[in-house]
Amino acid sequence: MNELISARQQEILSIARAQGRVSVDDLAVRFEVTPQTIRKDLNDLCERRLMSRVHGGAVVASGVENVAYEARRFIAQPEKRAIGAAAAQLIPNSASLFINIGTTTEEVARALTEHEGLLVITNNLNVATLLYRHPRIDVIVAGGPVRRSDGAVIGSAAVEFVRQFKVDYAVIGASAIDEDGALLDFDYREVRVSRAIIENARRVVLVADKLKLERAAPVRIGHLSEIDVFVTDALASAPLRELCREHGVEVVEVGTSEDESA
């Protein structure tokens, strides 16, 4: 199908993979065309399921390869920050918790810095860097190989390390959420750690923005029915909302700062 994509559309895809998202206005200036022309390009790419439209632009919607980690920080950034703050409010002082890899879980960690008496166990070096300086928060980092692309500690050693604990809360992210409730990711080694985290927590909090409902990924983490609380900016999917109701999953919606109708 890619042979039907124009050279400009190929370049738009390359920019999006490098930066996480693209805007109509920036692309119109870059290619010296009208915003209407760029919107048509983006709509064509979305029809081919290569991108997903967001307010004022689009993001990559790959089902086999994730967007670069640094670029993902800029996708739905206000929403992730609001989700992180709402999830942190669910964690009481003097609790123990797992936090796995992800840009949204990092926002949860960022919002936990005023908590007291926390024990945080993580396979996310970014989370550890955010929290280890705080005297009222103890941080334990899983051992094992570090994935250079994002600072995730993965592999069998990390899985066995996680299994030594039984904690009060797990805060997990996912790269995609299927309409049937499947939680999905890209790296089976990372998924094994996430599975161990889910299985060894008394209460599991999923943090994911609504764009994750528009994406696909090949590796199954688990199912929405295994989650206790789902914190998101908006849950527009009626089937997923019904699944949450059926399985007693509490849904916390923090709203969105952007109107995607543009």
With cut-offs at 50, 70 and 90, classify the pLDDT of residue 72. Answer: low
CA distance 188 to 81: 27
| Amino acid identity, position 223 | H
Tell me if 2-61 shares its fold with 72-253.
no
Residue 116: predicted pLDDT:
96
Hey, what's the torsion of the CAs at 22, 214, 81, 70, to 10 degrees? Answer: -50
With cut-offs at 50, 70 and 90, classify the pLDDT of residue 181. Answer: very high
| Tens-digit pLDDT profile for residues 152-173 | 999 999 999 999 999 999 999 9
Please, what CATH class does the domain formed by 2-61 belong to? Answer: mainly alpha
256 contacts: CB under 8 Å, gap ≥ 6: 78, 79, 210, 233, 234
pTM summary value: 0.77
Per-chain mean pLDDT for the chain: 89
With cut-offs at 50, 70 and 90, classify the pLDDT of residue 74. Answer: low
Please, what CATH class does the domain formed by 72-253 belong to? Answer: alpha beta
| Amino acid identity, position 20 | G
- Assign 3-class secondary structure to 149-169: CCCEECCHHHHHHHCCCCEEE
Extents of the domains making up the chain = 2-61, 72-253
Mean pLDDT score, 224-239 = 96
CB burial class (10 A; 0-12, 13-18, 19+) of residue 218?
Answer: middle
| Amino acid identity, position 72 | R
140 SS3 class: strand
| Tens-digit pLDDT profile for residues 55-70 | 888 887 655 455 666 6
